[in-house]
Structure 1
Amino acid sequence: MAELAQELQEKKTDKELYSYQKGAIDKIFEKFDTAPDDYHLLYQLPTGGGKTVIFSEMVRQYLKHHNKKVLVMTHRVELCRQTSEMLTSFGVINKVVNSTANLDDQNDYVCFVAMVETLNNRLNDDMLDISDIGLVIIDEAHYNSFTKLFKFFEKSFILGVTATPLSSNKELPMKDNYNELITGESIENLIENEFLARAEVFQYDMGLTSLEVGSNGDYTVKSSEDLYSSPAMLDKLLQAYLKHSKDKKTLIFNNGINTSVHVYHTFRAAGLPVMHLDNTATKKQRKQILKWFKETPNAILTSVSILTTGFDEPTIDTIILNRATKSLTLYYQMIGRGSRILNNKTKFSVIDLGNNYYRFGPWGADLDWQTIFSSPKFYMERLVGDEEIEANFKHEMPEELRAEFSKSEDVYFDIKATYTDAVAMGESSKVVLERSIAHHAKICTENSEDVYDALALAKLLEGDIDQRIETYAKCISRSTYNFLSWLKDDYQKKLNSYLRQNFDDIFEEIHGYPPED
């Protein structure tokens, strides 16, 4: 092993590290030199910041100065291979410990790379000698599958690296497994210094109260597929793509294979270049699809979480979140896939169809990772719920309908504010709907020549009426199906009656003269 260490010391690497990466390595080694041998340190750096580059250089330097071995753990096969290749490019001779690896020659290596499940099997079978492992590096450390292996490395220094130091399991906080967190450069700093591209977000207001939360704390695949596979949602996705991302390379994230397949067929039927990828694809199929995606300028790839880690494609122009998530980590991972810079690329688009922006704030916001690490439950409890998010939506008419009311300066009516004011004045809640009807009658009249035109426009307002009634029902805490159905019918009848009785007066008030007979 001494001969190998000497060889590493003399071998040069063509990798040039950025100043912030060198600074991170200095900080970590300082902690390594002063902390106990069994210290557990967590290092945070945004996706695209070069975590693999940093820990590869760390391994190279560690092996030059220490007569012990290094183990790097990943949670996926692809990451295992990529990590091994990166270490090799740094001059680190390493062995990948996979299910087919022959470990008879393990004494010839000073660095091992292993996937967590395979390593667990090899350790439990006593197939791998770990008595001389001084440094253990854990990539994507927020995944909890690694913690079961900590018992094997009670005398080793453990370095976990992650973009988001928030555990994937709220019951197993990272602070219980790591002594300290060191934070790296912020996303904003990396953008300002042209290491990452800036996200331009197009946010859609989505009704998500039908989604159910599973035992893992995130929305279930079934409830997500029920919602996102519906014709209305598929059409909304397609229209959002056509408006903001047509002819741009686009990566779509879904929660469920069936949804992704529906997305594929929807886009294909529209004559668009699209492929679907999920974890059931063979290695050959995956390779072919990703090659096509890389080489096709306007390619659209619809996927199911499989590309959230270990996938770097700088040519991506748009990320579409065709799903909702309660996972801050997943939110950052998905958007991060579009943040790689390339040539003149300084920004990329994000189309959010899951209220994720409202839930977590902007990607790259100045999050206090130290507080999130030390008090994860406090952070999670403060996340805004779906009902609260949707209560603050400002309903907007669809563009086609808005065109029918082009002569009206403002077609929005704030039911919630009107209700709050009415209650404050001691008025009956019924006045809210009366004032809403008067407003609808006004915009119908503004865009009509006679009462018959106004009544025809009133028929087009069904969706707008539904939205106002549903908001009103929440205000008064009455939302049974029968009550809502009756209220909507009653509203439409009263609007028609109001127009017939008051059209001439409203018209004259607006124009200063009566309508022609």
Structure 2
Amino acid sequence: MKPSEIVNYDLRDYQINLIQDIYQQWKEGNTRVLAQLPTGAGKTICFAAIAREFACRSEKVIILAHREELVLQAADKLRKITEQDVGIIKAKYRPNYSLSVQVASVQSLVRRASVIEKVGLVIIDEAHHSTAKTYRQILERYPDAYQLGVTATPIRLDGVGFRDLFDELVCGLTIKELIKQKYLSRFRLYADPNPMSTKGVRMAQGDYSVKGLEKANNILHLSGQLIESYLEYAQGKRCLVFAININHSQMIAARYKEVGIPAFHLDGKTPDQERREAIEKFRKGEFLVLTNCQLFDEGLDIPGLEAVQIAKPTKSLTKWLQMVGRVLRPSEGKQCAVILDHTKNWAIHGLPNRERIWTLDGVEEKEKVQSSRKKNGEVVEEEILIAESETVLAEIDESIDEGQKIELNNSDETEKYWSKIYENLLYEQRANEYNKGWVYYRLKELNPPLFIWQAYGRLRGYHTKWATYRFQEQSSQSSPSSQPQLEFSPSELAKIFDIILSEFSPFTRVLMRSHTKLLTFNDDTAIIGARNSTILSLIRNKKAEIESVFKSVFNNEIKVHFTVEDSVLDE
């Protein structure tokens, strides 16, 4: 199967490459392919070009979408690229099932069991939603069809990937590369010095509870902060606001109107016609601020959008990237997009152009970087360097200037190992706004070497002798060999872990083989790395079982620690 005359569709080079990669996977027998491309880079154009190829061979194509805006936008672009009429399967729209290309609302198609047969290709728009039962019911109807999922963020809310749903993942250019080539807009992100609180807010379905967020924050005071930051950084620009609930969104719109800034609120209950009219007025600039609740995290295609305001804390990287991605589409006269973050999302997830490696198992960061807020509110990121320096460790400071690096003076693997642990503890402390004493108690649990205590002493401004005293106290309370010894190579650690895994129950064995690895092992200590916080919670609950297996295999008490990536957390 080969794409014919793709270049005639005015596709960009990276879009052509992505399409060719998709066809190559199908050719190799991987019929379920997931394609990743950042928001604003043209995912719809790519799958429309592929749909045209199937339609030209008289093969039926179904595009699945979960909201009306996505259904209509996909249908519009498909008509332009396929140069033929496109059917819409959705309540209140008259269907024409004879057409080769159909864009279907998932909720509508799942209730219409046999309206379309012999489908050649099923495309899943915003495929990170495809775990829902309704999607699976539809896909099971077409077992012989090729499947193509498209998304900017190929992970679930908890960070786990889609290996259970797709055979292969193909990725296009990154946000950083697309900005460099001017296919996405440059941006500046400004962080509120007094961000929304998440203290005491419980989790619900993998993210912060909406009721908890509303209770933890003074919405009236917050709406005033939003207006102040808009006037300072984005005055006169078209701005999309993300709110935590309908009441919050309505209040923000009302406060904007009170100060003479034209604003409008939309949510999922707004009548369709009113919603379409409001979006069109916003496109034309008839009002400057559009507030919403869970409506435009995805699907809003307004290249002229100049700013977004984030008043919605989230633990989800997917939600964060989808929200900020709304403003990155380039347009004439738009020199730099503005992102106004009134949450701690920037500290938790990083800037949108941070280099990330997407896999079917989840996402990894390409390089270790540090986010920091400058005195003017702008957020910048610097790579954490391991380099020769007279300074052992530098404090992570919110006032750090752009270009200043965190430098480590490390000459062997053990020092590098401990330096990474310390840097990640500082990052977690800042991201969660913990007291600096939290770092002290984490270090007490880990028994680090002297130079780490010296770095912490400088962080707190203690006397130079404090670190020596603390280290001597630690040494007297622990065994002589309290430092992890990096004496096994990664391949040797993998073999040791295989021996351990063979002793576990089937469920635990499958879970740990797929989502964990043994990072460090010596006579009395083992450190196991988890892929993300969800997996970490699961294996923490099995700590007793894991330590029992280690004792059984090695006939020795082994203390097991758990980590996420390279940062050691609580046991």
* SS at 1:316 equivalent: coil
Residue 271 (structure 1) shift: 2.5
Residue 421 (structure 1) shift: 7.1
Is contact 2:121–2:147 with CA below 8 Å preserved after alignment?
yes
Is contact 1:197–1:340 with CA below 8 Å preserved after alignment?
yes
Partner Cα distance (1:150, 1:377) in 2:
29
Is contact 1:317–1:348 with CA below 8 Å preserved after alignment?
yes
* SS at 1:62 equivalent: helix
The aligned residue for residue 28 of structure 1 is: 22
For 1:256-276, what per-residue CA distance to the aligned partner results, in whole angstroms no more than 9, with x for missing partners? Answer: 111112212222222222221
Q: Which has the larger radius of gyration?
A: 1
Which of 190, 199, 210 pairs up with 1:221? 210
Partner Cα distance (1:239, 1:101) in 2:
43
Is contact 2:154–2:362 with CA below 8 Å preserved after alignment?
no
Is contact 1:318–1:349 with CA below 8 Å preserved after alignment?
yes
Deviates more, 1:251-260 or 1:141-150: 141-150
Is 2:32 aligned against 1:46?
no
Higher helix share: 1
Which of 276, 280, 293 pairs up with 1:304? 293
Change over 3 Å in CA distance of 1:31–1:209 after alignment to 2: closer
Which of 143, 155, 159 pairs up with 1:166? 155
Give the % identical residues: 27
Is 2:116 aligned against 1:129?
yes
Change over 3 Å in CA distance of 1:77–1:391 after alignment to 2: same
Partner Cα distance (1:317, 1:211) in 2:
34
Partner Cα distance (1:14, 1:26) in 2:
15
Q: AA paired with 1:174?
A: F
Residue 353 (structure 1) shift: 0.8
Partner Cα distance (1:55, 1:248) in 2:
32
Residue 102 (structure 1) shift: 5.9
Deviates more, 1:205-214 or 1:78-87: 205-214
Is 2:182 aligned against 1:194?
yes
The aligned residue for residue 238 of structure 1 is: 227
Residue 218 (structure 1) shift: 0.8
CA RMSD of aligned residues (A): 3.2
Q: AA paired with 1:249?
A: R
Q: AA paired with 2:102?
A: F
* SS at 1:235 equivalent: helix
Q: AA paired with 2:105?
A: M
* SS at 1:175 equivalent: coil
* SS at 2:163 equivalent: helix
Equivalences for 1:257-336 in 2 at 5 Å? 257-296=246-285, 299-336=288-325
For 1:380-429, what per-residue CA distance to the aligned partner results, in whole angstroms no more than 9, with x for missing partners? Answer: xx997687531389xxxxxxxxxxxxxxxxxxxx99714797964769xx
Partner Cα distance (1:248, 1:118) in 2:
37
Is 2:123 aligned against 1:142?
no
Is contact 2:90–2:108 with CA below 8 Å preserved after alignment?
yes
Partner Cα distance (1:386, 1:316) in 2:
34
Residue 20 (structure 1) shift: 1.3
Is contact 2:124–2:149 with CA below 8 Å preserved after alignment?
yes
Partner Cα distance (1:76, 1:151) in 2:
21
Change over 3 Å in CA distance of 1:116–1:207 after alignment to 2: closer
For 1:439-483, what per-residue CA distance to the aligned partner results, in whole angstroms no more than 9, with x for missing partners? Answer: xxxxxxxxxxxxxxxxxxxxxxxxxxxxxxxxxxxxxxxxxxxxx
Higher strand share: 2
The aligned residue for residue 248 of structure 1 is: 237
Residue 32 (structure 1) shift: 2.0
Is contact 1:140–1:162 with CA below 8 Å preserved after alignment?
yes
Residue 79 (structure 1) shift: 1.2
TM, length-normalised to structure 1: 0.68
Equivalences for 1:405-416 in 2 at 5 Å? none
* SS at 1:121 equivalent: coil
The aligned residue for residue 510 of structure 1 is: none
Change over 3 Å in CA distance of 1:297–1:390 after alignment to 2: farther
The aligned residue for residue 83 of structure 1 is: 74
Is contact 2:87–2:99 with CA below 8 Å preserved after alignment?
yes
The aligned residue for residue 337 of structure 2 is: 348
Which of 17, 20, 44 pairs up with 2:11? 17
| Bigger relative contact order, structure 1 or 2 (CA pairs below 8 A, ≥6 apart) | 1
Is contact 1:273–1:298 with CA below 8 Å preserved after alignment?
yes
* SS at 1:342 equivalent: coil
- Unmatched segments (≥5 aa) in structure 1: 1-8, 394-413, 428-517
Which of 68, 71, 85 pairs up with 2:59? 68
Change over 3 Å in CA distance of 1:196–1:234 after alignment to 2: same
Change over 3 Å in CA distance of 1:387–1:61 after alignment to 2: same
Change over 3 Å in CA distance of 1:211–1:311 after alignment to 2: farther
Residue 231 (structure 1) shift: 3.4
Partner Cα distance (2:462, 2:204) in 1:
37
The aligned residue for residue 177 of structure 1 is: 165
Change over 3 Å in CA distance of 1:102–1:262 after alignment to 2: closer
The aligned residue for residue 511 of structure 1 is: none
Partner Cα distance (1:45, 1:392) in 2:
38
Partner Cα distance (1:180, 1:23) in 2:
16
Is 2:79 aligned against 1:97?
no
Change over 3 Å in CA distance of 1:419–1:190 after alignment to 2: same
Residue 67 (structure 1) shift: 4.9
- Unmatched segments (≥5 aa) in structure 2: 367-423, 437-456, 471-571
Q: AA paired with 2:36?
A: Q
TM, length-normalised to structure 2: 0.62
Is contact 2:198–2:313 with CA below 8 Å preserved after alignment?
no
Is contact 2:249–2:265 with CA below 8 Å preserved after alignment?
yes
Partner Cα distance (2:67, 2:465) in 1:
58
Partner Cα distance (2:189, 2:177) in 1:
19
Partner Cα distance (1:423, 1:324) in 2:
39
Residue 129 (structure 1) shift: 3.2
